[in-house]
Amino acid sequence: MKLDKLLDYQSQDIALKRIMSEIEKSEDFKKIELAKQEFAIAKKNVEDSEKNALSLVELFASLEKDYKDTQEKIEKLIPQIEKLEAKLDKKPQDVKEDFEKAISELGALKSKASEIESKLMDQKSKGDDTIQKYKAASERMKKVREFHAKAKERLDALQKSKEAEIKKIKAVLKDLEPQIDKAILTQYKAITSEGKYPAFVLAHVDGKNFSCKGCGMSLSQTGSSAITGQGYTACESCRRVVYKG
Ligand SMILES: [Zn+2]
């Protein structure tokens, strides 16, 4: 029969798929996938903390400069006030206005300085917070990396234990390929690429009527006569190839 080699191919292909899915369904495979996601989250947190720290440092530097400038202005203003104060006793009418202006300027500078001070304190606590977040995220990265390495080690061992079997099946598949009609093999690959296994299914026969064992639907009259004629046909509902036993 024309499909014999394809059916051999299919049973080997399914055996290979079973081994692959045993690997992919293993706990360690899942753990590795989880570790990859966790690692990406922790990495993003580390990067965010770094960015945050950088902008905090910049802001801190600019606040510090403002603070220094304000302090310098205060230090310059104090001796001026002292001079005005000395004159105030002798000629109050000449300096009164300047004195009051200088005092109010001093008041404004002092309140600016204390405002900057409280901002600096605020930045410092934000900085401490950022450092804590950074530490926690790097610690998490380290742990996830260890977790990943252990799972990977076990998964590698599992894969290695299946290696010979996989190699053997792949060799058989390769050997069978040229012996199968090209169009049929292409059809097989198109169906399995959609995850439909098996792709070629035995027809269920009920008198003159055939139905697909893949999806359970009855074949049309055209389908039924095709299967009677050439021995197989594509199922109209699921596209699997239905063949007569
Ligand atoms: Zn079907």
Q: pLDDT per residue over 174-227, tens digit each?
A: 999 999 999 999 999 999 999 999 999 999 998 888 999 999 999 999 999 999
Q: 92: CA distance to ligand 1 center in Å? A: 109
Per-residue pLDDT, 88 = 85
Q: 46: CA distance to ligand 1 center in Å? A: 52
Q: 201: CA distance to ligand 1 center in Å? A: 8
Q: 228: CA distance to ligand 1 center in Å? A: 17
Whether 123 contacts 56, CB under 8 Å:
yes
Q: 20: CA distance to ligand 1 center in Å? A: 25
Per-residue pLDDT, 207 = 84
Whether 84 contacts 98, CB under 8 Å:
yes
- List the chain residues with pLDDT less than 50: none
Per-chain mean pLDDT for the chain: 94
- Alpha-carbon distance of 224 to 232, in angstroms, equals 9
Domains observed in the chain = 4-179 (1.10.287.620), 182-243 (no CATH)
Per-residue pLDDT, 112 = 97
- Alpha-carbon distance of 212 to 243, in angstroms, equals 9
Per-residue pLDDT, 206 = 87
pTM higher than 0.75 for the full model?
Answer: no
Q: 176: CA distance to ligand 1 center in Å? A: 25
Per-residue pLDDT, 1 = 52
Nearest to 92 by CA among 100, 220, 12: 100
Q: 62: CA distance to ligand 1 center in Å? A: 72
Q: 17: CA distance to ligand 1 center in Å? A: 21
Give phi and psi for 26, each to the nearest 5. -65, 150
Q: 241: CA distance to ligand 1 center in Å? A: 8
